[in-house]
Structure formats: C-alpha cells, structure tokens
Structure 1
Amino acid sequence: MGVLCIVVPIYYIFSSKNKNEEAFIFASYLVGAEVFIRMTSGFVFYETGKYGVILFLLLGIFVGRFKQVFSVHYVFYILLLLLGIIFTQVPEGESLRKNILFNLSGPIVLGVAAFYFYLRPISKKKQLDALFFMLLPLFSMICYLYFRTPDLEEIVFGGEANFATSGGFGPNQVATAIGLGMFILTVFILLKEKLSGYLILDSIFLIYFTFRGLLTFSRGGIITSAITLLLFAFFFLLYRKLNFKTLFKYLLVALFFIFAIWVYTSGITGGMLNNRYTGKNARGIQKDITTGRGDLLEIQFSNFLDNPLGIGVGNGKYKRLERTEHVTAASHNEVGRLLEEHGYIGFFLLLLLLFVPMFNFFRSDLYRKAFIISFYTMWFLTINHSAMRIALPGFIYALSLIRITEDEEA
C-alpha cells in the first residue's frame, strides 16, 4: 500500500507536468494517509510519508510551471535548520543519521511545502479537492479502528491515552489525524459541500469521527480540532453575514450534539473521559495536566539560555540524561526543540514561521481568512503537543500561505 502511494503519484506528476496541481493533491492524500499506513506497517521506512510529501512537491516545482512567488526566506529557513547538524553529537551506539532525520524531516517538510505554496494561486475548488483527498484515507483509518478495537466493555479505561482504542498505535498521532478529519468534515458541512450526497450522512460521519477521537483519550488532537473549528466558524459566519436567529440555531444544534457525544462517550468509559480531560488519574486525583510536557519545556528553555548557539539537532534527550531530573523523553514541543537545539537561530526561525502567514491573513477577505487562520492555528497547536512527528503540521502550515482564487489561473 505504501509503495503504491509513492510510485503512482510520481508517474502522474511527471506525465501531467503538474498542470492540474497533481503534486498538491497527491501530497494531501499522503498527509491524510501517513498515520494509517504507519499503523498497518505499510511503509518500508518509518518516515516515508514525510519523504513522499517532499518528493511530490519538489517534482511539482521542477516539472510544472512555477506559479508561486519565489520565497527566499523559506530557502534560508531550510539552510539555517541544517546548521544545527554541526553541533550534533550522539552517544556511542546511537545512529547519527536516524537522530538527525527523526528531528529534521518534519521541519524540512514545512520548508519545502512553504516554498511550494508561498502565495501560490490555488482556486477554491482545487483547495476543497485537496481537503477531500486528505479525508479519504482517514475514513479507511476509522474503519480500521472499528475492526481492531476490542469490545469497549472489555477495555479498562484510566487516566492515560488508550492504545486499545487507537488500533494499537500511538494515540497522539491517531487523535491528531482524527482531529484533521473532524475539521475537514465540518468545513464541508458549513460550506454545504456534500461529501456523500446527503447532509445528514455527512453529519453522522462527523459524529462518529468525534466519538472515535474521544475514545483515544489523547487530548491534543481533539482540542486542537475544536479550537481550529471555532476560529473557522467565526470568520466563515462573519463572511456569510448570518443574522442572530440563524446563528443561534447553528450554535444550539452544535452544542446539543457536542453534549450528547460527550455524555455518551463518558458513560461508555465509566466517567474516565471526564477525568482525562480535567487532568485527573483513574482515582480522581489531580495530576500534571500536561503529562510531563511542562517540565520538559522548562528544561528546554533552560538549555536554550545556557547554550545560545544551540546544543545540536537531536541532542536534547541526551543532554537531559545528564541532568538530575531524568526527563529523557523526546521533545513533544517543536517550539522548545527549536530553541534548545538551534539556539538563537531557532528563535529567529520561529519568528519567521509565526509572522510570514500573518501578512497573507491581513491581505485576505473573510472567506480566505477563515482558512488561513485555521491552517495556521492547527499547525501551531499541533507542534506544541506532538512536535512534528508526522507530515501534517508542516504541510498544513504551508496551506496558510496560499493565495485562494475564485477560478483556475492560467
């Protein structure tokens, strides 16, 4: 499956010369499929999804027409990222190559995708087509979860992320992918673009995605989706200029379904869902709601202040081994990783990533603002709970840079 997801797109991008944004469409599909293919061991290499996205977009640039504005700042972003390799040192027995690729493959996806999409004219229809193709493999993943999950009555739910309801794979990545599906489904419903041909059926899909996402007990992807959707709905409803009565009706229906899904899921989990989202363990005792991420971020800031030039790509967990706190986990926060491992260069890169999309945002109308702020927010929240383990956050960030047009531009 993973091989076909790489080989077939390469053929089509070459044969079409990327005339109809095939690189964009296939990269979108792979971004949606990456977690599912990892779950089913469909990739030869673990990071193949990221490599594929990079390859598709580079092919799109070289074999197709150069439609976007040349973005020299994202070229410098990639080059400055690579500077961090100079300071990289790994203990004996550890792989230098794997260490670098694990930490830099995600940021490089962002750099290449940002270069491809920077002020690139993409029609409304083409953008929705890409979101549709991104959603398709997420349906496959949801079906897979249904068949792989044991009887819910047999699962012991506690105060931690649940692997049994995540297909035996990392709940964080699964919930992030499901959150993406929730966002896309809601966007299509609000735009009245029927996926199945029936609005009610599309709404049922959204309800089931939300249910499966809550069952993972991984909060990051679901909370990210909720915040992103609130921002999208705010700007989109302003664009539609709905009156108060219609707006109140939408809000009432949304709150009813959210409450119903939550109560039902909480009941199935014996109330543990409430504990999970309020930072309590199975006995109801309050614990660190960040599950150690706060302590990790504090150490990363400390290392940043002690090493203004950075400690080198991937050196964070080895540096933490030397400390008495013994917080040795790999970073779940890309902001902290950038500062810790790249020093002041990382701080500069972070500012670049934060500010450049804002210029596109302020130049756009309300319809375009709804998409730009949604992509931007999804990127930022995702990298703060899941770093850049998958291609999704880097690719989604780049979508905040496109210039959405009414029709295809010649």
Structure 2
Amino acid sequence: MIKLILQNKLVFILVHLAFGYLGTFSFFPKIFGFGIILIPIYFIFNSKNENEEALLFAAYIVGAEVYIRMTSGFIFYETGKYIVILYLLLGMFVGKFKQIFSVQYVFYLLLLLLGIIFTKVPEGESLRKNILFNLSGPIVLGISAIYCYQRKVSAQRLMDVLYFMLLPLFSMIIYLYFRTPDLSEIVFGGEANFKTSGGFGPNQVATAIGLGMFILTVYILSNKQLTGLIYIAAIFLIYFSYRGLLTFSRGGILTAIISIAFFVVFFLMYKKISFTKFFRYLMLALVFILSIWIYTLDITNGMLNNRYTGKNAIGVQKDITTGRVDILKIQMGNFLENPLGIGVGNGKYERLKKGEAITAASHNEVGRLLEEHGYIGFILLITLITIPLFNFLKGNSYQKAFIIAFYLIWFLTINHSAMRIALPGFVYALSLLNITNIDELENTEDENLMIAENEY
C-alpha cells in the first residue's frame, strides 16, 4: 500500500481533495476517522514496520488531526494524539529497534508525570480531562522522540514522511473552501476569523496550513516529484498561503515563513548556489509573498494589515500578543513562588482564584511547563531545547536545513499554540533523526530535473 501511494502521488492528492468535499457530509467524517485508525494498524503489524510504516502513518495522523477535529471524525477530542502514540509504540515493539536508546526522553516522560502529584481541580471539574488536555501533547513529544532519536532514516523516506503529513492537509484546505461563506459577506476585524477557518479554531487551522506551506516549499526546492509538474505544486503553495492569511491567525503563518527562511538558507548552502542565483530566488520569493499579501489585503478591506500589526478594526493599537505576554508574566510569578510547581492544569484555576483579568488556558508551553512543573519543568525545557542542537551541529548543510526547520516549527508553535495538537511534538522528534543516503536522493532529484527540462 505504501508503495502504491508513493508511486501515485498526484492520484492520492486528488483523492484527498475529494475527501475534503466529502467532509461536508455528516456520514463521511466518522468513516474516515475509523478508517485511518484501523487500516494502518494492520499494515504496521503485517510489515513489522520494515519500511517505517509506523512513522509514515503517524505523520498522516498528525496532518489529519485538525481536519478530523473540525469535522468531528474522532469520538474523543484527543484521539489524534493517542493514535500517534499507539502507532509509534507498535513500530518500536513489532519491528526492529533501529534507534539508539534515549534515556534522556525516558526521564523526560517520568519527570513530566511527577507534576500530576500537585494537581488539584475545583469541584465539578474533571481531573482526568484536565491532566490529559495538558499532558497528552508533551507525551506525544516524548514517545515520538524515543522513536526518532538517532534513528537512521534515508533522505527519501523523510520526504515520504512529509508527503504523508501533507496529504490530509489537502482535505482540510478543500473543506475550508466549501465551509467558508462568500468573502464579501464576512466582516473582517482585528481578530482571528472563525468563518474563514471552517468554524473551527483559527490558531490550529493556521498551524496546520503553515506546516503544509513548509512541506510544499521543501518539495519545490528539492525538485522532487509531487504532482509531476512543479507549477502545480507552486499553485498549491499559493493557495495554502492565501487560505492561511484568511484565517487571520498569525502564529502558524509566521512560523511557516521563519522555518522556510532558515531551511532555504541551509539548503542553498548545501547546493552551493551562487550569490546571483540566491538573489534571484530571493526576489522571486518576495514577489510571490507581496502578491499574495496585496491580493488578500484587498479582499479583507485592509484588515489583514491591522491584524498583523496588532490593531483593531478601527486602527487602534492593541496588545499584539492578545494577552499571551500577560499570562506569561503571571506564570513566571507563580514559577518563582512555587519552585515545585502548582500542578498540571492548575494555571487557569490559579488565575481565577486570584481574580486575574485573563483566565484562559495558557497558549505558551514554555510558561506552562515552568508554572505547573516548577524547577523540574525548567530541567525538562532545557533538555528539549539542547538535545536537537547537538544533532544540528554534527550534521551537514542538508541535514541542518531539516533539523533547524523542524526545531523552529516546534519551538515557535508551542509559544503561540502550546501543544493543543500532536503536530509540534511529532515535528520536534523529526529533528532528532539521523538522515542518511542523501546522495541517492540527489541523483533522483537530478533525474527529475532533466525530465522536467525535456518536457519543456
């Protein structure tokens, strides 16, 4: 099945575009949700994870999670995270143990669970849901990191992982198209827009779209066949960028832009591109970005500019972080007052108790770790930040391009969206891979480029 999918990339992209339309019908999401849970389990067991089926299908779930949440395809809200954990555990236990055993991430998981000891929730609140909501994302990171730590994965297989992540994002993009009202009927303001996000959380939608933007850019720069024609991939990238801007959620789009910029720098260093060619690429990218920005700015009656500069609908400057810095200040105060932490998920209840103006759950995983886990959280944070950097330092420019991009996607995402979805934890783990057989991929890229040149 894996081979069939990878040999027919455009066909399966079209299939997933159809899935996006089918998602608008009530009967489809549950069928799709159950299907993508059960079918991969069979293939992982049957193949004994010989070809990294567990990693590929986990990547697919990561890409599909937001789409399935917005269509209510899973019975439980956090199912996507549980399935990623299940697939990777199956991959480790039914297949050969290919990675170096990571004691660091085993301790990370054990120390993470210590925060449960101090957890107390008000009467009427669910302790179980409170813990799972806050720890399921970090646990996805821990299990994914154990699976990926120094695991040898070929450059070609890594591209396949990105393709599997990208497939369900096509479904989400088409679903957004059918679920968004006529843009002329939407009153755009200075806040994230639920109507252009399929009625779902714009933050999560923009984060998923940003991932799609990054993957499409990687395929275009690598001259890898995604649709057979590089121009079609470029059109997809333009549409992803446009839909991302329409959400009016900045974090996911800025994360994509920053990650792409770092990837491009190291990738071009690996390719030994001359300054002239680099300048040409830079100008092309700027034209591309400005064109999409100006077009979307016009459609939103100039409100896009207000949103990205932190102004409201009438142009008055407001807190550009929408309260995130205020919450972070409170979290730092609680961290200093409670060196052992206040307990998992207790942050919003502490803010309620003290009568703070902002009582929402934290969107910043760094602040949450420090506030709720105390000095143990500080140790966990330092561990997470430093380990991928060692992998980065010993890699060549090609490996560095991917490692730094994955690392930035993780770090920037957890600072604006915490770990609400499986994406940041899983992508973090990809920065720990030992990417091999780069020369084989290079030869394939050269062949693809020659084919493309002959066609035109």
- Normalized against structure 2, the TM-score is what? 0.89
Task: Show the counterpart of 2:255.
Answer: 224
Task: Show the counterpart of 1:165.
Answer: 196
Of 122, 126, 130, the match for 1:99: 130
Task: Show the counterpart of 1:55.
Answer: 86
**1:84 corresponds to 2:115:** yes
Contact 1:179 1:225 in 2 (8 A): yes
Task: Summarize deviations over 1:84-108 as a string: whole Å, max 9, x none.
Answer: 0000000000000000000000000
Task: Show the counterpart of 1:117.
Answer: 148
Q: Distance in 1 between matches of 2:358 and 2:242?
A: 33
Q: What is the CA distance between 1:324 and its match in structure 2?
A: 3.0
Q: What is the CA distance between 1:407 and its match in structure 2?
A: 7.2
Q: Distance in 2 between matches of 1:200 and 1:17?
A: 38
Contact 1:88 1:315 in 2 (8 A): yes
Of 202, 226, 229, the match for 2:233: 202
State the identity as a percent: 72
Q: Distance in 2 between matches of 1:38 and 1:4?
A: 15
Of 274, 283, 297, the match for 2:305: 274
Q: Distance in 1 between matches of 2:279 and 2:116?
A: 54
Task: Summarize deviations over 1:310-356 as a string: whole Å, max 9, x none.
Answer: 00000000011011323210010000000000000000000000000
Q: Distance in 1 between matches of 2:332 and 2:265?
A: 34
Task: Show the counterpart of 1:318.
Answer: 349
Matches for 1:220-299 after TM superposition, within 5 Å:
220-299=251-330
Q: Distance in 2 between matches of 1:196 and 1:63?
A: 33
SS in 2 for 1:294: helix
Q: What is the CA distance between 1:283 and its match in structure 2?
A: 0.2
SS in 2 for 1:192: coil
Counterpart amino acid of residue 152 in structure 2: P
**1:357 corresponds to 2:388:** yes
Counterpart amino acid of residue 315 in structure 2: G
Task: Show the counterpart of 1:375.
Answer: 406
Task: Show the counterpart of 1:31.
Answer: 62
Q: Distance in 2 between matches of 1:306 and 1:36?
A: 40
Return 36-45 or 399-408, whichever deviates more: 399-408
Q: Distance in 2 between matches of 1:375 and 1:199?
A: 23
Task: Summarize deviations over 1:251-271 as a string: whole Å, max 9, x none.
Answer: 111111110100000000000
Q: Distance in 2 between matches of 1:87 and 1:373?
A: 35
Task: Show the counterpart of 2:368.
Answer: 337
Q: Distance in 1 between matches of 2:35 and 2:77?
A: 16
Q: Distance in 2 between matches of 1:316 and 1:66?
A: 39
Where structure 1 has 5 or more consecutive residues not aligned to the other structure, the ranges are none
Where structure 2 has 5 or more consecutive residues not aligned to the other structure, the ranges are 1-31, 440-456
Task: Show the counterpart of 1:146.
Answer: 177
Q: What is the CA distance between 1:194 and its match in structure 2?
A: 2.5
Of 384, 387, 392, the match for 2:423: 392
Contact 1:68 1:118 in 2 (8 A): yes
Task: Show the counterpart of 1:180.
Answer: 211
- Normalized against structure 1, the TM-score is what? 0.99
**1:70 corresponds to 2:73:** no
Q: Distance in 2 between matches of 1:394 and 1:257?
A: 30
Matches for 1:124-135 after TM superposition, within 5 Å:
124-135=155-166
SS in 1 for 2:415: helix
Task: Show the counterpart of 2:8.
Answer: none
Return 1-10 or 266-275, whichever deviates more: 1-10
Paired residues in the alignment total: 409
Counterpart amino acid of residue 323 in structure 2: G
**1:11 corresponds to 2:29:** no
Q: What is the CA distance between 1:368 and its match in structure 2?
A: 0.2
Contact 1:68 1:121 in 2 (8 A): yes
SS in 2 for 1:385: coil
Q: Distance in 1 between matches of 2:246 and 2:216?
A: 19
Q: Distance in 1 between matches of 2:383 and 2:287?
A: 40
